[in-house]
Homo-oligomer: A and B are copies of this chain.
Amino acid sequence: MRVELINTGSELLLGRVLNTHQQWIGQQLAGVGYELAIQQTIPDTESSIEVAVSEAIERSELVIVTGGLGPTGDDMTRQRIAELLEVSLVDHQETRDRIISHFQKRNRPMPESVMVQAQVLEGSTVLPNEYGTAPGLAVSTSKGWLILLPGPPRELRPMYTAYVAPFLAKELPPRRKMVTRTIKTMGIGESTVEELISQELSEFLAQGLEVGYCARVGEVDVRMVAYGSSGPRLIKESETIVRQCLKEYVFGADEDRLEDFIVCGLIERNQTLVVAESCTGGYLSHRITNVSGSSAVFPAGHCVYSNESKESILGVSKIALEKGAVSQSVAREMADRVRLLHKADYALATTGIAGPTGGTEEKPVGTVYIGISTAQGTRVIKECNRCDRETFKYVTSQQALNLLRREWYKKARH
């Protein structure tokens, strides 16, 4: 079964907005065994929509189109597709009522123009929008189904989950089972990963296992895909081998993020973590608190950006700060002090030069000291992360969380 995704929106092509639909919808589809054959982004012009959609419905059983269903003048997907399929647009009373109630609930005036969104393709299945005004539409085509969804992710995602997924399971169930598994590693290069596992996997590759590698910032993903009834077994056995070959470099699988691993590990151990951040500026706290349930194991994080706050809040010594806030001794004191301040089991601390300015010959932009404090002692590592400010914060926070992960790994081996 061929599946295509078409994202409409000139703002996407001009780079004004990041296209997150491809990733999110790709994940939803792959999770139940549909494979996206191609994704396209096209401008909000009538001719682009016509060309892309007419080609796609000719060659694919399932075509999902996002965007262009809103109330403004540049929203022309609904109208254009009605013309293309030669069906009329008809007023949909239930949608009309929903739109009125949407504005009433928010106590906002309702502009006349919004009612264009109550026009639906005749004969289509209307997919209600619980977080906005434009409904989605499912239209039957000669080969299968064309699904139109609104552009804003916070409208599209709940609509997909509540209405599109069950609709597809019923009307267009995937023909071939697909199983995917991604093993996530840190601290090892892409070529080395392949060298360590490809020989060991050769038997499974011969049986149809597909393996791909993806180098990300500070991480390498090993992606495995298998089909049919032997798929689950192939994936399971391959995963065991990959984990055996890559040992401590593996930190998770699929959607796992390092912060999930850390928070789950803390919950399991019934221990707590606090952080004191300078150069990561709150990002470490942000990543930890992105994990639901973190409040039980993360009492506090301090972004002590100025020297005064390092001293007044944590009690870092003036002498150490005067010698240089970006230093091994300040990282050590930050980690120690913040752990004692909250009587926590672990503390992480970061101090460095995120850039783009502030570097010196001795300590160039990217220099960072990362400390970990536990009841057993304190350890500081020095790294040099030469990249833009936001990537710097990401890589540094990753290295910090990895210090705690390796602490646990070491302990488990003893």
In whole Å, how far is A322's beta carbon from the nearest beta carbon of chain B?
Answer: 17
Interface of A is mostly: mixed
Among B29, B41, B113, B305, point to the contact of A191 (Cβ < 8 A). B113
B9 touches A15 (CB 8 A): no
* With known contacts A114-B191, A299-B305, A387–B154 Cβ distance under 8 A: yes
Q: Give the chain B neighbours of A288 by CB distance below 8 A.
A: 281-282
Q: Which of A140-154 contact B (CB under 8 A)?
A: 151-152, 154
How many residues on the A side are at the interface (Cβ–Cβ under 8 A)? 102
Count this chain's copies in the assembly. Answer: 2
Evaluate contact between B286 and A290: CB separation under 8 angstroms. Answer: no
Contact in complex: B182, A16 (CB < 8 Å): yes
Residue A78 is within 8 A (CB to CB) of chain B in the complex: no
Q: Known contacts A12-B22, A13-B26, A215-B152: does B295 contact A282 (CB below 8 Å)?
A: no
Nearest CB of B to A95, in Å? 15
Evaluate contact between A18 and B23: CB separation under 8 angstroms.
yes
B residues near A232, Cβ cutoff 8 Å: none
Contact between B303 and A301, CB atoms less than 8 A apart: yes
B299, A306: Cβ atoms closer than 8 Å: yes
**Contact call B27/A23, Cβ cutoff below 8 A:** no
Residue of B nearest to A302 (CB): B302
Most buried by B among A39, A109, A303, A306: A303
| Separation of A15 and B24 alpha carbons in the complex (Å) | 6
Q: A15-B23, A15-B24, A43-B37 are in contact. Are A305 and B309 (CB under 8 A)?
A: no
B306 near A111 with CB under 8 A, answer no
- Contact yes or no, B38 A26, CB < 8 A: no
Given A285-B285, A303-B282, A292-B73 contact (CB < 8 Å): no
- In Å, the complex CA distance between A20 and B216 comes to 12
How many angstroms from the CA of A192 to the CA of B189 in the assembled complex? 51
Chain A contacts to B: CB under 8 angstroms: 9-20, 22-30, 35-44, 48, 52, 70-74, 108-109, 111, 113-114, 151-152, 154, 180, 182, 189-192, 194-195, 198, 211-217, 221, 223, 225, 277, 281-286, 288-290, 292, 294-295, 298-306, 308-309, 312-313, 341-342, 354-357, 387, 389-391, 393
Given contacts A73-B198, A299-B305, A299-B306, 13 further A-B pairs with CB under 8 A are A13-B39, A14-B27, A15-B23, A15-B29, A18-B18, A38-B48, A70-B213, A109-B192, A277-B285, A282-B288, A290-B389, A299-B308, A300-B303
29 pairs of residues in contact across A and B, judged by CB atoms under 8 Å: A12-B26, A13-B35, A13-B37, A14-B30, A15-B24, A38-B42, A38-B48, A40-B41, A70-B190, A74-B211, A108-B192, A152-B215, A154-B217, A282-B282, A285-B286, A285-B303, A289-B303, A290-B390, A295-B306, A299-B308, A299-B309, A300-B303, A300-B304, A300-B313, A301-B302, A302-B302, A302-B303, A303-B303, A308-B342
